[in-house]
């Protein structure tokens, strides 16, 4: 393996990789991820956080370079990317790499699409390649640190933390920057890198904004590099580089996981689509609740008490304090609550967007709250610890003395048919949906994406109608 800084290695890899270098399974997965992301972004576009980012940027205006999805207004490319990325992360329903504990598509897809519009002439094959490269890199950046450990206790929101450098490299490839300019893009983006997990603990809207900040910063970095601005050429492994400053140095870092087998090991093929609008670490708790209600016939009104177990790392993020997680005061807290995930599924026999609304359908729903009030404990068990999200176990004690003890290591994966149904559901759930014909045509074009001649034809279809 080369001794060059990984910023140089990634820059070369991005420059050299073509669509023909991608394995078939990567192409298939990336197309599925693009369709899913567009649906999730449309559904989240008018939700708190995303709406304010859009309104702020449209009010500020600027040179018209790329489209804000939905409204059809155009902004400077970095700011259009900022808005479109925020839309896709607002519902916490965007794709996820479980072991990396982060969301790749919310960075790679909006960056690639706004850059396709900015530079013009990008084909569907170019788009697939761009998303595959970006998603692979952002997953590798997370996998490479704290290997063999859970990443959750270290406090980073890895999607936000890794987003600036990844978005910058995507933009540099789209713009055809030289190797030197691309390495400078890395250095400029590193100077803007950040993203912590505290908002998820506090239930605040900044949880939804981090990836968009990174997309804005990354694209800006590439634009500055093109203008001659220089950045450190050792963004990853310099004395005060990313690994040493952010991740405690070589003892918490695997260079092989970061840049080993580039072009052979594609982490973007290991990305999961999320069926529920909450943290992936709670999805198997949702599925246990659905199984008990819909398959095992458990009557929630006959439950006496509940005990919930997961790995120690997950408890701090999704379990405690139980007094807040079991009775979430806001949507963001409910999206990061194992208590809410399990009890909403068991109480309602479903777990969709409405179960997380801030009204009687969601966090004020008396049927769900009746169950969360019966949670006796939520504890960490070492036996349930995994490198990514921890395993799930629940004990449900019934009034007649029956005890259910259910375990699930990982959430179930979604089939392509599941993703199509999710996409349709997202379009229907949007406060300001796109026309039905546009939604159908988007689905058809992305299914045949490798034959699309100009990606701008896809962007033209992402439009809002009037509000419901």
Residue 466 lies inside a defined structural domain of this protein: no
Secondary structure (DSSP) of 260-273: TTTTTS-GGGG-B-
* Whether residue 322 is found in the same domain as residue 382: yes
Q: Could you give the number of structural domains in the chain?
A: 2
Question: What pLDDT does 468 receive?
Answer: 44
Both 166 and 313 in one domain: the answer is no
Q: Please state whether beta strands 392-398 and 403-408 pair in parallel, antiparallel, or not at all (unpaired).
A: antiparallel
Pairing mode, strands 375-380 and 303-310: parallel
CATH code for the domain of 130: 1.10.4100.10
Residue 145 CA from chain centroid, whole number: 18
| Residues 6+ positions from 155 with CB-CB distance below 8 Å | 196, 197, 198
Asked whether 208 and 50 are in contact (CB, 8 A), the reply is: yes
Yes or no: say if 393 and 406 are a contact pair by the CB < 8 Å rule. yes
Question: Do 214 and 356 share a domain, yes or no?
Answer: no
Let me know whether 38 and 143 are in one domain.
yes
* CATH code (residue 360): 3.30.1330.120
Last residue in a domain, options 270, 303, 336: 270
> How many Å apart are CA 136 and CA 170, to the nearest integer?
11
Instruction: Classify residue 330: in a domain, yes or no.
Output: yes
SS3 403: strand
Say yes or no: 265 and 395 in one domain: no
219 shares a domain with 340: no
Listed residues 226, 244, 270: the one ending a domain: 270
Report which DSSP code applies to 335: H
Question: 337 with 402: CB under 8 angstroms?
Answer: no
The conformation of residue 146, written as its DSSP 8-state character, comes to S
Q: Is the peptide bond before 321 cis (omega within 30 degrees of 0)?
A: yes
Same domain, 139 and 201: yes
Q: Is position 416 within any domain? A: no
Tell me, yes or no, whether 119 and 79 share the same domain: yes
In a domain? residue 442 = no
- pLDDT score at 1: 52
- Taking the C-alpha atoms of residue 71 and residue 54, their distance in angstroms, rounded to an integer, is 9
What is the bridge-based pairing of β-strands 303-310 and 74-75? Answer: unpaired
Buried b (16+ CB within 10 A) or exposed e, 250-262: eebbbbebbbeeb
The strand ranges marked E within 33-124 are 66-67, 74-75
Classified as helix, coil or strand, 75 is strand
The residue segments making up the domain with residue 375 are 280-408
Q: Is the dihedral of CA 192, 217, 183, 94 positive or negative?
A: positive
208 and 72 within one domain: yes
Q: Final residue of a domain: which of 375, 408, 441?
A: 408
d(CA 311, CA 48): 31
Is 150 domain-assigned? yes
Residue 128 belongs to some domain of the structure: yes
Q: Along the 468 residues of the chain, how does pLDDT read in single tens digits?
A: 568 999 999 999 999 999 999 999 999 999 999 999 999 999 999 999 999 999 999 999 999 999 999 888 999 999 999 999 999 999 999 999 999 999 999 999 999 999 999 999 999 999 999 999 999 999 999 999 999 888 889 999 999 999 999 999 999 999 999 999 999 999 999 999 999 999 988 989 999 999 999 999 999 999 999 999 999 999 999 999 999 999 988 999 999 999 999 999 999 999 999 999 999 999 999 999 999 999 999 999 999 999 999 999 899 889 999 999 999 999 999 999 999 999 999 999 999 999 999 999 999 999 999 999 999 999 999 999 988 889 999 999 999 999 999 999 999 999 999 999 999 999 999 988 889 999 999 999 999 999 999 999 999 999 776 544
What would you report as the CA-atom Rg of the chain, rounded to the nearest whole angstrom? 22
Q: Is 262 in the same domain as 320?
A: no
Contact of 322 with 306, CB cutoff 8 Å: no
Task: Give a yes or no: residue 420 inside a domain.
Answer: no
**Same-domain check for residues 260 and 285:** no
Mark whether 300 and 193 lie in a shared domain: no
Three-state SS across 328-347? CCCHHHHHCCHHHHHHHHHH
Q: What is the DSSP letter of 144?
A: T
State the pLDDT at residue 467: 44
Triad 102, 96, 443: Cα angle to 5°: 140
Do 257 and 2 touch, CB atoms closer than 8 A? no
DSSP collapsed to 3 states, 286-310: HHHHHHHHHHCCCCHHHEEEEEEEE
Q: Pinpoint the alpha helices (H) of 98-209.
A: 105-119, 124-143, 158-175, 179-190, 198-202
Is residue 358 situated within a structural domain?
yes
C-alpha 392/C-alpha 384 separation (Å) is: 7
């Amino acid at each position: 393996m080369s001794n060059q800084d990984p910023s140089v290695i990634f820059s070369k890899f991005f420059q050299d990789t073509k669509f023909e270098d991608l394995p078939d399974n990567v192409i298939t997965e990336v197309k599925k991820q693009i369709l899913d992301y567009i649906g999730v972004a449309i559904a989240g576009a008018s939700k708190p956080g995303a709406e304010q980012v859009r309104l702020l940027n449209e009010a500020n205006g600027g040179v018209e370079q790329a489209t804000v999805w939905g409204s059809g207004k155009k902004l400077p490319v970095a700011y259009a990317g900022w808005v479109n990325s925020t839309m896709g992360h607002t519902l916490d329903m965007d794709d996820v790499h479980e072991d990396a504990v982060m969301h790749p598509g919310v960075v790679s897809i909006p960056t690639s699409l706004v850059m396709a519009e900015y530079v013009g002439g990008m084909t569907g094959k170019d788009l697939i390649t761009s998303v595959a490269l970006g998603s692979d890199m952002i997953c590798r950046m997370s996998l490479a640190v704290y290997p063999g450990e859970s990443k959750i206790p270290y406090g980073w929101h890895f999607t936000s933390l890794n987003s600036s450098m990844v978005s910058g490299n995507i933009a540099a490839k789209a713009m055809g920057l030289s190797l030197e300019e691309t390495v400078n893009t890395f250095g400029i983006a590193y100077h803007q890198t950040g993203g912590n997990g505290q908002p998820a603990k506090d239930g605040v809207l900044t949880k939804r904004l981090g990836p968009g900040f990174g997309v804005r910063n990354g694209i800006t970095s590439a634009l500055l590099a093109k203008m001659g601005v220089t950045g450190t050429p050792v963004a990853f492994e310099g004395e005060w580089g990313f690994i040493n400053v952010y991740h405690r140095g070589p003892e918490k870092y695997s260079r092989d996981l970061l840049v080993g087998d580039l072009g052979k090991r594609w982490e973007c093929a290991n990305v999961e689509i999320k069926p529920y609008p909450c943290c992936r670490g709670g999805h198997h708790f949702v599925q246990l609740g659905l199984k008990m209600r819909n398959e095992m016939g458990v009557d929630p009104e006959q439950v006496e008490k509940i005990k919930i177990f997961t790995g120690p790392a997950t408890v701090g993020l999704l379990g405690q304090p139980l007094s807040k997680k079991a009775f979430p005061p806001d949507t963001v807290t409910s999206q990061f609550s194992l208590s809410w995930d399990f009890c909403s599924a068991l109480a309602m026999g479903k777990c969709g967007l409405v179960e997380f609304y801030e009204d009687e359908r969601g966090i004020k729903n008396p049927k769900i709250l009746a169950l969360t009030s019966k949670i006796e404990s939520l504890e960490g068990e070492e036996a349930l610890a995994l490198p990514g999200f921890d395993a799930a176990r629940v004990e449900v004690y019934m009034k007649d003395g029956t005890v259910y003890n259910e375990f699930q290591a990982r959430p179930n994966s979604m089939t392509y048919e599941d993703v199509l149904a999710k996409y349709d559901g997202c379009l229907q759930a949007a406060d300001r949906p796109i026309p039905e014909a546009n939604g159908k045509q988007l689905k058809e074009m992305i299914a045949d994406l490798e034959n699309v001649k100009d990606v701008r034809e896809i962007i033209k279809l992402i439009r809002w109608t009037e509000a419901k």
